A and B are shown apart, each in its own frame.
Chain A
Amino acid sequence: MNMLTETAVEKVLERKMTNSALKMSGTDVCVFYGEKQALHNVNLNIRENTVTALIGPSGCGKSTFLRTLNRMNDTIDSCRVTGKILLDTDDIYDPNIDVVELRARVGMVFQKPNPFPKSIYENIAYGPRIHGLARTRAEFDEIVESSLQRAGLWNEVKDRLQEPGTGLSGGQQQRLCIARAVAVSPEVILMDEPCSALDPIATAKVEELIHELRANFTIVIVTHSMQQAARVSQRTAMFHMGYLVEENDTDKMFTNPDDQRTQDYIMGRFG
């Protein structure tokens, strides 16, 4: 990408951000694992076409909150969620909401790269197939190519689409997982520490990718790395002990946070 287009993108995003609607919003979200309460009355808004970073020390509830956004917590038997989470105008915990449809709208990338033990092609094509996004071979080919293009993986794998996705390097696998999430055209992509298992070069590539994806998707990312949060996000939310401590523009958060605990955490005094 040259300088000109980059600034153009920035301008478009700037405009989108300023008048961006809220994509998702949590109101009084509490999460319980059995008797234990993991999240206390979290109120957090996710803006459209924005990267929102969730930071905080281990066990603070940031991953738990992330997983409430596409109801991945449903898979844990003892988990209970109260409060309200809206995606656009739909309450995602409404009994009428189909969780399958929700997860097609809110995709997810996990901490450890977890490609299916199938071909690269099949990894991407699986989501569109189960959601009926493509019918013919040509349509599938197109989705596979465009998703891999978007994930910046196309040039590396275009000649070996039929080889197993598990044979790629860690960084490539993670980008394959991102491509897989992108392939079902979600509105929001949740990323749970997507770079924690990657080396710095692969991390840089994924971060660059996040930056580009922002133009089309709303991204929520959980990260342990302050630098990463500062690099990739526009908004940052700080969690501590199950409470949302502070939510602010990333620039402000890392230079002049409102809350003392944020200051302490960013300075490395705890966590």
Chain B
Amino acid sequence: MTDITSADPMVLTAAPPRREIGIKRRYAAERRFRLYGILAISFGVIFLLLLLWSVVSKGYTAFLQTEITVPVTFTEKVIDPQNTRATNPAVLMAANYPVLARDALAKELGVDPADRAALKEVNSMISASVRVQLRDIVVNDPSVIGKTVPVKVLAEGNVDAAYKGHIDLSVPESDRKISDRQLGWIQQLAAKGELASRFNTGLFVNGASSRPEAAGVGVALIGSFFMMLIVLALALPIGVAASIYLEEFAPKNRLTDLIEVNINNLAAVPSIVYGLLGLAVFINFAGLPRSASLVGGLVLTLMTLPTIIIATRAALKAVPPSIRAAALGLGASKMQTIFHHVLPLAMPGILTGTIIGLAHALGETAPLLLIGMVAFVADFPATPLQPSTALPVQIYMWANEAERAFVERTSGAIIILLLFLLAMNIGAVILRRRFERRW
């Protein structure tokens, strides 16, 4: 000690020579790195905006549907010429209703009933779904026969597209889906207020249809809903139970290591492989019905399980060991420690993982194609055993259709799917906040 203090005081004042460490370069590197980060984020944001813009700009019109209000005369001569409906109600089911709508519209437009070509064009402006619509009116209330009632009928897909301005009028008439005369009629009706757009509830409640104006994602929504319920009811308890066992109870040995590696690998297995598995096990072996949302739900459960297990294990691992020690030190059993203290603290992480897994499953298409959920289903499934489709599959099927009106519906369905995903993610954030806010 004394040696140092007795040294020449000059040594202390002269600072030791500093090594050149490139302070400026360091700051420049940091600025550069920040710039890269900002660029990367902007890149992502730009593409997200592009995607949203392209989907929304194409799809928002799908939420509007053009309707024509026509005073339909329910002529007895057309519906029930022999007047046998009292004894034979089937006659009301088979009547030629489209003619009623056509004649009503022709009268409204002042078309000569003898002009067959014009009548044909008038007919092609009304959706073919009018048959079912008018039949339902008559069957529900046969007293309507002989009266004239204003009915809102769906405009045919091309009329709808033309009214929304989707049809390129510079194309020669012969190559167009809609004639100049029909365009004139559209303007005429629109001016009278008899042709107008309204909110397209049919998009949400209708099943599949080959006519775009009558097609909707109703069946797909039900199918997706059933599948989400099944995934939630199976994957959450199985996943959480498996994670708790592996994380808290299982001995650490080669077998559990192997299981862990396999779970991590399963999370990365392409989803179509799960579809093949589902086809082989649930349909071919277990004999469950094809196209059923039960099978879809089971396949998606298998697909979601690894995600939930990994998220849950990470959440359990993140609980501070001091909490476990505190509970064990008080004489809580292992089970009590886990269920009273560890699990509540891990809950936000588990819920986030589960909802991310569910959202993933909601948007999954490939495995559903393999189990036959890519089907034309017009009737609503009452149980998960009946055929149905799913939202992403419906999008896939509509994207394969050629008609212009299906293009906007594809985008419309994408918007619906994205809204559901958004709602689920918001739900995840809210749940997480709620559980975290407790302390």
Decide if B333 is an interface residue (CB 8 Å cutoff). Answer: yes
24 of the cross-chain contacts (CB-CB < 8 Å) are A72-B328, A75-B325, A77-B251, A101-B331, A103-B328, A103-B329, A103-B330, A104-B330, A110-B326, A110-B329, A114-B320, A114-B323, A114-B325, A116-B341, A117-B323, A118-B439, A126-B332, A127-B330, A127-B331, A130-B332, A131-B331, A164-B439, A180-B326, A181-B329
Chain A's closest residue to B320 (CB) is A114
Chain B's closest residue to A166 (CB) is B439
Q: How far is the CB of A102 from chain B (nearest CB, A)?
A: 8
Are B341 and A72 closer than 8 Å at their CB atoms? no
Decide if A177 is an interface residue (CB 8 Å cutoff). Answer: yes
Measured CA separation A117–B333 after assembly (Å): 19
Instruction: Pick from B252, B324, B330 the residue with the most CB of A within 10 Å.
Output: B330
Residues of the B chain whose Cβ atoms lie less than 8 Å from the Cβ of A107: 329-331
Within residues 86 to 124 of chain A, which ones have a CB less than 8 A from any CB in chain B?
Answer: 100-104, 107-108, 110, 112, 114-118
Q: How far is the CB of A122 from chain B (nearest CB, A)?
A: 10
Known contacts A104-B331, A127-B331; A72/B326 CB under 8 A: no
Residues of the A chain whose Cβ atoms lie less than 8 Å from the Cβ of B438: 117
Are B326 and A114 closer than 8 Å at their CB atoms? yes
Chain A's closest residue to B325 (CB) is A110
Instruction: Pick from A75, A102, A115, A166 the residue with the most CB of B within 10 Å.
Output: A75
Q: How far is the CB of B401 from chain A (nearest CB, A)?
A: 55
Measured CA separation A177–B325 after assembly (Å): 12
Are A100 and B333 closer than 8 Å at their CB atoms? yes
**With A114-B325, A130-B331 given, can you name 12 additional A-B contacts, CB distance below 8 Å?**
A70-B329, A77-B251, A103-B329, A103-B330, A110-B325, A110-B326, A114-B322, A116-B327, A117-B323, A126-B327, A166-B439, A184-B331
Residues of the B chain whose Cβ atoms lie less than 8 Å from the Cβ of A108: 329
Within residues 236 to 250 of chain A, which ones have a CB less than 8 A from any CB in chain B?
Answer: none
Residues of the A chain whose Cβ atoms lie less than 8 Å from the Cβ of B323: 114, 116-117
Are A184 and B330 closer than 8 Å at their CB atoms? yes
Decide if B345 is an interface residue (CB 8 Å cutoff). Answer: yes
Residues of the B chain whose Cβ atoms lie less than 8 Å from the Cβ of A72: 325, 328-329
Decide if B181 is an interface residue (CB 8 Å cutoff). Answer: no
Are B326 and A177 closer than 8 Å at their CB atoms? yes
Decide if B340 is an interface residue (CB 8 Å cutoff). Answer: yes
Decide if B336 is an interface residue (CB 8 Å cutoff). Answer: yes
Chain A's interface size range is 20 to 34
Within residues 66 to 120 of chain B, which ones have a CB less than 8 A from any CB in chain A?
Answer: none
Partner of B336, one of A115, A118, A130, A184: A130
Interface residues of B (CB under 8 A from A): 251-252, 320, 322-333, 336, 340-341, 345, 438-439
Measured CA separation A36–B432 after assembly (Å): 43
Partner of A110, one of B322, B331, B340: B322
Residues of the A chain whose Cβ atoms lie less than 8 Å from the Cβ of B336: 130
Partner of A117, one of B324, B325, B331, B345: B345
Chain A's closest residue to B319 (CB) is A117
Residues of the B chain whose Cβ atoms lie less than 8 Å from the Cβ of A116: 323, 326-327, 341
Measured CA separation A127–B345 after assembly (Å): 18
Q: How far is the CB of A216 from chain B (nearest CB, A)?
A: 18
Measured CA separation A114–B324 after assembly (Å): 10
Residues of the B chain whose Cβ atoms lie less than 8 Å from the Cβ of A110: 322, 325-326, 329
Residues of the A chain whose Cβ atoms lie less than 8 Å from the Cβ of B345: 117
Residues of the B chain whose Cβ atoms lie less than 8 Å from the Cβ of A126: 327, 330, 332, 340
Residues of the B chain whose Cβ atoms lie less than 8 Å from the Cβ of A117: 323, 345, 438-439
Residues of the A chain whose Cβ atoms lie less than 8 Å from the Cβ of B329: 70, 72, 103, 107-108, 110, 181
Q: How far is the CB of B13 from chain A (nearest CB, A)?
A: 37
Are A130 and B330 closer than 8 Å at their CB atoms? yes
Residues of the A chain whose Cβ atoms lie less than 8 Å from the Cβ of B328: 72, 75, 103
Chain B's closest residue to A77 (CB) is B252
Residues of the A chain whose Cβ atoms lie less than 8 Å from the Cβ of B340: 126, 130
Measured CA separation A126–B327 after assembly (Å): 9
Measured CA separation A117–B344 after assembly (Å): 10
Known contacts A77-B251, A116-B341, A117-B439; A181/B330 CB under 8 A: yes
Chain B's closest residue to A103 (CB) is B331
Residues of the B chain whose Cβ atoms lie less than 8 Å from the Cβ of A166: 439
Residues of the A chain whose Cβ atoms lie less than 8 Å from the Cβ of B439: 117-118, 164, 166
Partner of B332, one of A100, A115, A118: A100
Measured CA separation A100–B439 after assembly (Å): 28
